């Protein structure tokens, strides 16, 4: 039974495409040779709405994804807890930690911003594992940084599909799976209305730009609220 379940999970996870001979080579750290535009002087595009899903939080409690992608400006990424790729999940989490500190330091911003991480390995990253993992990202000041997982891979697949988050499996020269999986690093900036407004792939993990994008959305949100009050 356990083996059958395992196979089903694997089958689901690998239902997407995969590439065999693609030797992707080493990654390149992002460069930033420019002064970012001042916050509020540009518009962020409305790329796509975030779909609904029910996932599990760090306590194993079912949560609607919309509850964590609406009402605040959200930076959302897919990760797995044991990733050690220096230009992968640890790099993103280090960047997000720095951003969190900058957000906290800016008056009135922290309460309107949250970070969300969704594991792309629900079999390993159980709520208990996430709960332990989350302790590394606690701050002295209140800040909402949540970690989610799925009850099973089939629940995760439509979420990955909706975000356009690729997870694929390599094959060897004979077309056999090498048990090597890849996923493309993406961080999604979502406005308080639940619309993706920017996507940062590795080349765009530029903290100063990301910070100004958060500020830009915050200014937009403040202006809208002001309009409503009038």
Partner 1 sequence: MKHPMRFVAVLAGVSVWLGVVPLASADETCNSPYMSNLIKGQEDFVHVWTLGEPGLGDASDKLVTVDANPKSKTYGKVVSSVSVGGRGEAHHMGFTDDRKFLWAGGLDDSKIYVFDVGTDPSKPKLVQTIGDLPAKSGFVGPHTFYALPGRMLIGNLSNAADKGGATGLALYNNKGTLIEKYAMPTATVGGVKGDGYGYDIAVNPAKNVFLTSSFAGHKNYMRELGDLMKDGEAMKNFGSTMVVWNLKSMQPTQVLSVPGAPLEIRWSLAPGQNWAITAAALTSKLWLVKPDAKGTWTAKEVATIGDPSKIPLPVDISITADGKGLWVNTFMDGMTRYFDLSNPEAPKETYSKHTGSQVNMISQSWDGKRLYIISSLLAHWDKKGADNEQKLQAFKWDGHALTSAFEVDFTKEKLGRPHHMKFTAKAGQSLALAAVRE
* Binding to partner 1 in span 187-216, by CB under 8 A: 196, 199-204, 209
Positive or negative CA dihedral for 214, 215, 220, 223?
positive
If the CB atoms of residues 143 and 204 are measured against partner 1, the closer one turns out to be: 204
**In three state form, how does the secondary structure of 194-217 look?**
CEEEEEEEHHHCCHHHHHHHHHHH
Give min distance, CB of 130 to partner 1, in A: 13
Give min distance, CB of 59 to partner 1, in A: 20
* Binding to partner 1 in span 135-164, by CB under 8 A: 164
Count of residues for the chain? 230
If the CB atoms of residues 73 and 196 are measured against partner 1, the closer one turns out to be: 196
Q: What is the DSSP letter of 174?
A: T
At residue 115, φ and ψ (nearest 5 deg) are -115, 145
62 binds partner 1 (CB under 8 A): no
The rounded distance, in Å, linking the Cα atoms of 78 and 72 is: 19
If the CB atoms of residues 110 and 129 are measured against partner 1, the closer one turns out to be: 129
Query: Contact at 8 Å (CB) between 193 and 24?
Result: no
* Binding to partner 1 in span 79-108, by CB under 8 A: 80, 82-85, 87-89
Q: Which residue has the tokens 């909706």?
A: 162
177 binds partner 1 (CB under 8 A): yes
179 binds partner 1 (CB under 8 A): yes
Give min distance, CB of 69 to partner 1, in A: 15
Give min distance, CB of 142 to partner 1, in A: 30
If the CB atoms of residues 192 and 196 are measured against partner 1, the closer one turns out to be: 196
20 binds partner 1 (CB under 8 A): yes
* Cβ density class 142-155: b for 16+ within 10 Å, e for less: ebebbbbbbeebeb
46 binds partner 1 (CB under 8 A): yes
Number of chain positions touching partner 1 (CB under 8 A)? 77
CA proximity to 117, closest of 169, 186, 53, 168: 186
Which of these segments, 53-61, 67-75, 182-190, 220-228, binds partner 1 (CB under 8 A)?
A: 182-190
The rounded distance, in Å, linking the Cα atoms of 18 and 193 is: 34
Give min distance, CB of 38 to partner 1, in A: 11
């Amino acid at each position: 039974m356990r083996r059958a379940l395992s196979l089903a999970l694997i089958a689901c996870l690998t239902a997407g495409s995969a590439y065999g001979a693609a030797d992707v080579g080493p990654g390149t750290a992002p460069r930033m040779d420019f002064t970012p535009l001042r916050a509020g002087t540009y518009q962020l595009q409305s790329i796509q709405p975030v779909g609904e899903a029910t996932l599990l939080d760090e306590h194993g409690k079912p949560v609607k994804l919309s509850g964590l992608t609406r009402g605040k400006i959200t930076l959302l990424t897919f990760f797995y807890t044991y990733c050690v790729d220096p230009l992968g999940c640890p790099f993103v989490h280090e960047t997000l930690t720095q951003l969190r500190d900058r957000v906290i330091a800016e008056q009135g911003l922290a309460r309107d911003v949250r970070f969300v991480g969704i594991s792309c390995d629900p079999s390993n990253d159980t709520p208990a594992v996430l709960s332990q993992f989350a302790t590394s990202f606690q701050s002295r000041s209140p800040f909402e940084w949540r970690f989610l997982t799925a009850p099973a891979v089939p629940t995760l697949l439509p979420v990955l599909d909706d975000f356009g988050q690729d997870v694929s499996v390599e094959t060897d020269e004979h077309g056999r799976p090498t048990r090597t999986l890849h996923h493309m690093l993406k961080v999604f900036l979502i406005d308080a209305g639940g619309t993706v407004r920017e996507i940062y792939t590795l080349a765009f993990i530029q903290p100063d730009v990301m910070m100004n994008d958060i500020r830009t959305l915050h200014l937009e949100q403040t202006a809208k609220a002001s309009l409503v009050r009038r």
